[in-house]
Structure 1
Amino acid sequence: MYEFHGWITIQVTASKAEQEQLEAIIPKIQLKITEYAWGSGLLSLNTACGCYYLHVGGFTKGKGQEADEIMSLYRYIGEIAPGSYGLLYSRDDENQEGADNEFRVLVLARGQLKEQRDPFLSPCIPVIENALS
């Protein structure tokens, strides 16, 4: 199973002073989202107090198309709105590289994506789950 939970605060620059440019970028992000035909999970672009933010989350049977699309969307937002920042927590219990017992954290800051190990919920066994008996 593949589990993912994430968010992005969308900003054109780190100065937050580019509201007119942001209004031109948001339709591009909305268009990109419409390209994805998700059958499950959360993918929403919202606004509150004049700020835009994206939420993603869900579970899929395996790491597949939705995982690729999320990564693509995070990269895309980092490219067109490099002041954006956010996190994506994911867990792939079928990971073949020894990371099946941990969450990975994708960090978006200043247009760059970096993957890091999760220090809070990992290793999943024993931090959040019991070992199978």
Structure 2
Amino acid sequence: MFEWHGWATIVASSEAEEDAEADGRQRGVEARVAQAVASAKGRGVVNETADLRHANGSLHLWLAGSHNHRAEAVIDLFRSVARIAPGSYGVMYVFDDDLTDTWERWVMRRGSVNSEVDASLSPHVGMVEDPYNR
């Protein structure tokens, strides 16, 4: 099972800017992120949540789902958003029981995405689920 849950706040730049030019850049970045999300839905992120919504003037991305096997397209989308909108920040939790018994926490900040082992949910068996008994 490959399972993921994530969110990101979409921000064009990490600089504190409040002018018409910055607003234009933000809207352009939001349009590019929307294109990336729409494109990903056709390349492996299907029948799952990949949603963009505005809340209180900010654009937010939500990702969630599960497949029988690892779906790199989901992680690729998260990385794409970081490249397109380097001021964005967020986290995505991934569990792939074919590879490991730990949850990965993919952290988006300052234009990059880095993987960490999440100690709150890992190891999966023991922390989240009981061992399988035959």
**In the alignment, what sits opposite 1:10?**
10
What is the CA-CA distance between 1:39 and the residue it aligns to? 3.3
Match of 2:51 among 36, 44, 52: 44
Gaps of 5+ in 2: none
CA distance in 2, matches of 1:129, 1:6: 21
Helix, strand or coil at the partner of 1:32: helix
**In the alignment, what sits opposite 1:92?**
96
**In the alignment, what sits opposite 2:61?**
54
- Give the paired residue count: 126
Helix, strand or coil at the partner of 2:78: helix
What is the CA-CA distance between 1:16 and the residue it aligns to? 4.7
Gaps of 5+ in 1: none
Q: Which amino acid aligns with 1:20?
A: G
Helix, strand or coil at the partner of 2:130: coil
- Give the stretch that moved more between structures: 105-114 or 29-38: 29-38
CA distance in 2, matches of 1:80, 1:132: 42
Query: Is 1:127 aligned to 2:127, yes or no?
Result: yes
Runs of 4+ aligned residues of structure 1 deviating over 4 Å after TM superposition are: none
* TM score, norm. by length of structure 1: 0.88
CA distance in 1, matches of 2:69, 2:53: 27
Query: Is 1:68 aligned to 2:75, yes or no?
Result: no
CA distance in 2, matches of 1:16, 1:24: 17
* TM score, norm. by length of structure 2: 0.87
CA distance in 1, matches of 2:87, 2:124: 32
CA distance in 1, matches of 2:16, 2:3: 31
RMSD of Structure 2 on Structure 1 (CA): 1.3
CA distance in 2, matches of 1:16, 1:81: 14
